[in-house]
């Protein structure tokens, strides 16, 4: 796909001039925003017909059709997404932590309190769970949303939860601050379109067998709906390796940073499969340049109803937060300030 980026100062008459010039230079001409036009065809031909037009800032060829998700020259490398008052993709590394699923009031509130005490920035927990087995715990559903709301009330931290069904999108969106689309639903196009109608952050996890470009095309569905607040989450892919749950593809973080302006976070938990591997993978994610992590934690992991083996005890969170500081700094950033603190935390204490 060829993308034409117009200067911010471009008038509608100048844009019309561009559209007229390229209409026979390719096919599928589309105006995405007043400054972003795409078409299929040959880049050299498009460049030739636009020759000398000062309103054209850039003509780029994309590996796949995601003009809105693409990182374009002259634009910010990353467009931050704000989850309530927590920024993802800004100068600070962001930590989202919480149990795999909401299980009961005591578990949710205890774990949430510990997450907050550790200095993590947002809470995750699933009320609706996409389980591989139909006989596994499916989540508390609506009741879980109520407990999540209570956890936010008590901690002041924003909430991230998964939606698995288009029928629940509105209800979930009313309760939480960021809607997660899970790996198994990355190519559920009806759900992506519904998420595109929202005007709130969406966390889009990578499908178990999705390429980076397929993942960016999935993000494009949400963006094309007019919802520009998309964060990508690498959570491990299925490979021939059976020594651990999924293969955490940290190189994908680098490739995404080349191809997209959307913030990228990493979920070390689902790839690790066991808790001992979570902290090192989280540090690796920070060191490779991810914008944050989303990590599973539980106040009593042995009792967890879902993903127990990979749940980090909440008592390990302070160490994780401490060790993320130099890891994030090695990639040139501080750890985002803890809620209530005023500055970024860095090794030097600045
Ligand atoms: C989860 O975050 O609990 C989850 C189900 O993740 P994924 O969709 O990556 O498997
Ligand atoms: Mn889980």
pLDDT at residue 350 tops 50? no
Q: How far is the CA of 232 from the centre of ligand 2 (A)?
A: 17
pLDDT at residue 342 tops 80? no
Q: How far is the CA of 339 from the centre of ligand 1 (A)?
A: 25
What residues line ligand 1, using a CB cutoff of 6 Å? 100, 126, 130, 182-184, 205, 235, 267, 270
Q: How far is the CA of 317 from the centre of ligand 1 (A)?
A: 20
pLDDT of residue 347: 47
Q: Whose CA is nearest to atom 10 of ligand 1?
A: 183
pLDDT of residue 343: 52
Atom of ligand 1 nearest to the CA of 180: 2
pLDDT of residue 348: 42
Tell me the average pLDDT across 249-258. Answer: 98
**DSSP alpha helix (H) spans, the chain:** 12-22, 43-49, 105-118, 142-155, 169-175, 189-197, 212-224, 251-259, 268-272, 278-288, 317-330
Q: Whose CA is nearest to atom 9 of ligand 1?
A: 183
pLDDT of residue 15: 97
- The 3-class SS string of 63-96 reads CCCCCCCECCCCCCCCCCEEECCEEECCCEEEEE
Atom of ligand 1 nearest to the CA of 124: 2
pLDDT, tens digit, for every residue of 226-252?
A: 999 999 999 999 999 999 999 999 999
φ/ψ (deg, to 5) at 333 = -140, 160
Atom of ligand 1 nearest to the CA of 205: 9
Question: Bridge partners of 350?
Answer: none
pLDDT of residue 75: 82
Q: Cα angle at 270 between 267 and 272, to 5 degrees? A: 95
Contacts of 215 (CB under 8 A, 6+ apart): 186, 204, 206, 207, 232
- Between helix 278-288 and helix 317-330 the angle, nearest 10°, is 30
DSSP class of 199: S
Q: Cα angle at 17 between 15 and 18, to 5 degrees? A: 65
Q: What is the DSSP string of 310-346?
A: GPEEGGGHHHHHHHHHHHHHHTT-EEPPPTT--S-B-
Atom of ligand 1 nearest to the CA of 126: 3
Q: How far is the CA of 316 from the centre of ligand 1 (A)?
A: 21
pLDDT at residue 27 tops 70? yes
The reply to whether the predicted model has a pTM over 0.85 is yes
Q: How far is the CA of 344 from the centre of ligand 1 (A)?
A: 29
Tell me the average pLDDT across 313-328. Answer: 98
Neighbours of ion ligand 2 (CB under 5 A): 100, 307
Are 52 and 15 within 8 A, CB to CB? no
Query: pLDDT category, 210, cuts 50, 70, 90?
Result: very high
CA 239 → CA 134, 208, 271, distances in Å?
24, 9, 11
Are 201 and 232 within 8 A, CB to CB? no
């Amino acid at each position: 796909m060829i993308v034409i980026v117009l200067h911010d100062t471009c008038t509608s008459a100048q844009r019309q001039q561009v559209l007229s010039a390229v209409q026979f230079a390719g096919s599928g001409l589309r105006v995405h925003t007043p400054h972003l036009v795409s078409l299929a065809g040959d880049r050299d031909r498009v460049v030739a017909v636009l020759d000398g037009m000062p309103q054209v800032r850039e003509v780029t060829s994309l590996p796949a059709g995601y003009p809105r998700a693409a990182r374009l020259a002259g634009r910010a490398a990353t467009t931050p997404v704000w989850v309530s008052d927590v920024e993802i993709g800004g100068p600070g590394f962001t930590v989202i932590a919480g149990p795999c699923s909401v299980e009961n009031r005591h578990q949710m509130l205890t774990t949430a309190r510990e997450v907050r005490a550790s200095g993590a920035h947002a809470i995750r927990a699933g009320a609706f769970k996409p389980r591989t087995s139909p006989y596994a715990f499916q989540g508390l559903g609506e009741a879980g949303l109520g407990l999540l709301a209570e956890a936010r009330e008590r901690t002041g931290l924003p909430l991230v939860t998964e939606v698995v069904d288009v029928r629940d999108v509105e209800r979930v969106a009313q309760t939480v601050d960021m809607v997660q689309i899970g790996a198994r639903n990355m190519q559920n196009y009806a759900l992506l379109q519904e998420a595109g109608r929202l005007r709130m952050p969406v966390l889009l996890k990578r499908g178990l067998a999705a390429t980076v470009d397929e993942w960016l095309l999935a993000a494009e569905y949400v963006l094309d709906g007019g919802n520009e607040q998309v964060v990508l989450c690498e959570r491990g892919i299925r490979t021939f390796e059976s020594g651990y749950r999924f293969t955490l593809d940290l190189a994908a973080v680098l490739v995404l940073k080349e191809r997209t302006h959307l913030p990228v976070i990493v979920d070390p938990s689902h790839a690790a499969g066991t808790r001992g591997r979570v902290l090192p993978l989280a540090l690796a994610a920070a060191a490779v340049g991810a914008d944050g992590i989303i990590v599973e934690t539980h106040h009593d992991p042995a009792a967890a109803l879902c993903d127990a083996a990979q749940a980090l005890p909440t008592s390990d969170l302070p160490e994780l937060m401490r060790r993320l500081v130099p890891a994030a700094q090695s990639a040139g950033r501080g750890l985002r300030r803890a809620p209530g603190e005023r500055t970024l935390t860095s090794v030097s204490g600045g």
